Amino acid sequence: MAHDPVRLELIKNAVGSVVDEMVLTVVRIAYSSIMKDTMDLSSAFCDRDGRMIAQGLSLPLHLGSFPDAMDGMLAEFRGKLAPGDVVILNDPYLGGMHLPDIFMFRPVFIGDHLLGYGVVVAHHNDIGGRVPGSSAADSTEIFQEGLRIPPLKLYERGVPNETLFRMIGLNVRVPDVVLGDLQAQVAACRIAERGMSELAAKYGIAELEHYFNELLDYSEREARRTIRAIPDGSYTCTDYLDDDGITPDQPVPVKVSLHVNGDELTVDLTGTSPQVKGAINSTLSFAKSAVYFALRSIMESDAPSNSGFMRPIRVTAPLGCLVNPRPPGACAARGVSGFRIIDAMFGALAQVLPERVRAAGEGGTTSYSIGGYDAAGRYVLFREAIMGAWGAGYRREGIDGVANPAANISNAPIEQVENQAPIVVERYELVPDSGGPGTWRGGLAVERQLRFVGERATLQLRSDRRNHPPYGLAGGRPGAPSCNYVSDGERWDVWPTKFTRPIRRGQALRHVTAGGGGYGDPLERDPERVLADVRDGKVTIEAAASEYGVKILPEPLQLDRAGTERLRAEMRRGARPAIGTAA
C-alpha cells in the first residue's frame, strides 16, 4: 500500500483525538478530585499485537508503562477476549505500576476482526491497605499497600463481574468513589471503541492498520534522529533521594549511565541503590517511562509517543535494585524514584547537550492524603498533589508554580479542597529567594498551608529534595530545599520528608516544595532582570546583593549601577565556587 504523508497526518491526529477524548471523559464524570481536578490518569490505543499506537492527554510518566501492562494482560488473555470484555489490572509485579493505578483494557472488534485495545490507567483515591490513600512511603511490603488485582475480567461480553465489583468495594475505604471512578474508566474505554470503529468505517481496516505501522516507523525514525544528535560515548550521573521513608537522612542513590552508539541508546541503571525497605521502590516499567520522557524532552519532532519511539532505546537494571525490585517489595510511593531518574538523565545529558536540558526542578510533585472523620462524624478521604517549579535552562528562566513536566497534572483549586474535605487552606503562595540563582533563575518554590478542622484523621505525605536540593547547571546554584512543618498553634515542628501520622482538630501542615535549580553564573545575570524579580517579590533586596551581586536602592526600587559593579568585582575576586553543578 502506498504511503501518503497527508493521510498519515490525518490518521495520526484522528487516533490522537480518540485517546484524548478518553481522558476528558474520565475528567467529566469521575467522582474523585484526584481524577477530576488533578487529572492523574492517562490513555492509549494499542494495536492487536499490543503495540502502543498513540497516547492521550495527561501524564508523560505513564508513557512507558502501557507496553508492560499490555504484556501482562495479554499473557493471561491473548486470544481469549470477546466484544464487550473489559480487563483490569493493578499488580506492579504483573504489569502494573503501583496499586492505586488501575489499568483498564477493552478490545476493539470490527466485526470478527480485533483491531486493538483502548487502554486507560487512573489513580484511585484508595485501594485499601494499612493507610488511607494507599500510597504511604513507610510501608515495608506490598501486602500492606492494598488490594492486588491480577489481570481479571471486570466485564465479560458486556456483563459486569459483580463478584469482582463487590470484592473491590469491600476492600476500599470510599467504595462509592472508587466504584464510580471505575465506571468512568469503563466509559472512556467505550469512547475508544466508538472512535476507532468510526475510523475503521472511514478508512477501512487494512488502510488503518497499514498506517499504524507507518506511525510506529515514523516515531522510530525521529527517535533515532534524536539519539544521533548525542555524540557517541558514555555519560554518567548520580543523584540522590533523601531517604526511603523508613530510615531518616539515609541517602538513596540513583545512578544513570547513558551509552550512545550511533542511533541506538542503552540506559544502564546499575549502581542505583538496592531495593529499599520503604515504599519508594519502582517497577522497571516506570523506570523506562522516566527514561523515555527525558529523551522525549530533547526531541524536536512532534512524532507521536508510541512503541516505535522505544525501539532504539534499551533500559536495563539489576533485579533486586530500587528500580527493579523483587516481590514483595513495597512500591506505593514509587513516583519520587521516577522523578529522580529523570533528574539523573538530565544531569548526564547536560554533559553533552548543555543547551538542551534544564537544571533540576522541584524533584517531583508532593502528594498527600488525609483520611478520617469530619466534625459530623462522616468518613472523608482526600488526596492531592502539590505542584512545584521547573529549573532554569540555557536562555530560559525557570517556571514558577507549575507541575513537573513529567507529571503534567493540576493542583486542586482551594474552593474544591475546602468543599470536599475538612480542610482550610490558609496559605498558597510562591516563596521568595527559593529559585536557584543563576544567569537564568530557577523557578520559585510553592508553599501550601492547610489546617485540619475535622475530628481525627491520618495524614500521609510524600516529598523529597530537602537534604539534596535540586542541582543547578553551568555554574548555577541549587534551588532551596523542601520542608514540612506541623503546628498545634504555638510552634511549628519540622516533620520528615515522608511520613504517616495521626492529626487532630486544629493542627496545621505547611509544606514548602523545593525551588528549581539555576543555570549559569549568577554574577552574569542581567541586573535589570534582578531588579524586576525584586519588584515582583521573587527575590529580596538582600538576596539580590548576596547571590547576584546586584545592589538595589529601596525607596524607590532602583539599580545602584556603580554599587553593583563594585560588588560584583569584589565577589569575583573572592572566587566564590559555583555549587550544584550536576556530575
CB-count burial class (<10 Å; 0-12, 13-18, 19+) for 300: exposed
pLDDT of residue 367: 94
Predicted confidence (pLDDT) at residue 576 exceeds the cutoff of 60 = no
Q: What is the C-alpha to C-alpha distance for residues 371 and 461, in angstroms, rounded to an integer?
A: 12
Euclidean distance between CA atoms 318 and 457, whole angstroms? 39
Burial of 156 (0-12, 13-18, 19+ CB in 10 A): middle
The three-point CA angle 550-552-557 to 5° equals 145
Q: What is the pLDDT of residues 3-59, one digit of tens each?
A: 899 999 999 999 999 999 999 999 999 999 999 988 999 999 999 999 999 999 878
pLDDT given at position 578? 40
Predicted structure pTM score = 0.95
Beta bridge partners of 499: 461
Q: Work out the average pLDDT over 178-195.
A: 98
pLDDT tens for each residue of 486-500: 998 889 999 999 999
Three-class SS state of 548: helix
How far apart (Å, rounded) are the C-alpha atoms in residues 471 and 363? 10
Tell me what pLDDT residue 138 has: 97
Of 335, 395, 342, the residue nearest 366 (C-alpha): 335
Are the C-beta atoms of 266 and 197 separated by less than 8 Å? no
Residue with cell 505513564: 62
246 has pLDDT over 50: yes
- Stretch 517-529: mean pLDDT, rounded? 98
Provide the 3-class DSSP secondary structure of residue 272: strand
- Per-residue pLDDT, 411: 82
Does the pLDDT at position 374 exceed 90? Answer: yes
**Bridge-based pairing state of the strands 313-316 and 264-268:** parallel
> Helix, strand, coil % (nearest 5) of the chain?
30, 25, 40
Residue 580 has pLDDT above 50, yes or no: no
What is the C-alpha separation between 305 and 66, in angstroms, rounded? 11
Please provide residue 228's backbone torsions phi and psi, each rounded to the nearest 5 degrees: -65, -25
Residues 202 and 208: their CA atoms lie apart, in Å, by: 9
Cis amide linkage into residue 231, ω under 30° from 0: no
Is 85:117 a contact under the CB 8 Å cutoff? no
Q: Over the stretch 319-345, which tens digit does the pLDDT of each residue have?
A: 999 999 999 999 999 999 999 999 999
C-alpha cell at 449: 498551608
pLDDT at 409: 86
In this prediction, residue 64 carries a pLDDT of: 82
Dist CA 459 CA 449 (whole Å)? 14
Stated as kind and residue range, the H or E segment containing 528 is helix 527-535
pLDDT score for 577: 40
Which residue's entry shows cell 502506498?
2
The pLDDT of residue 581 is above 90: no
* 442 has pLDDT over 70: yes
Is 201 strand, coil or helix? helix
Q: Does residue 410 carry a pLDDT above 90? A: no
CA–CA dist 495, 550 (Å, integer): 35
- Average pLDDT score over the chain: 95
264 vs 281: CA distance, rounded Å? 28
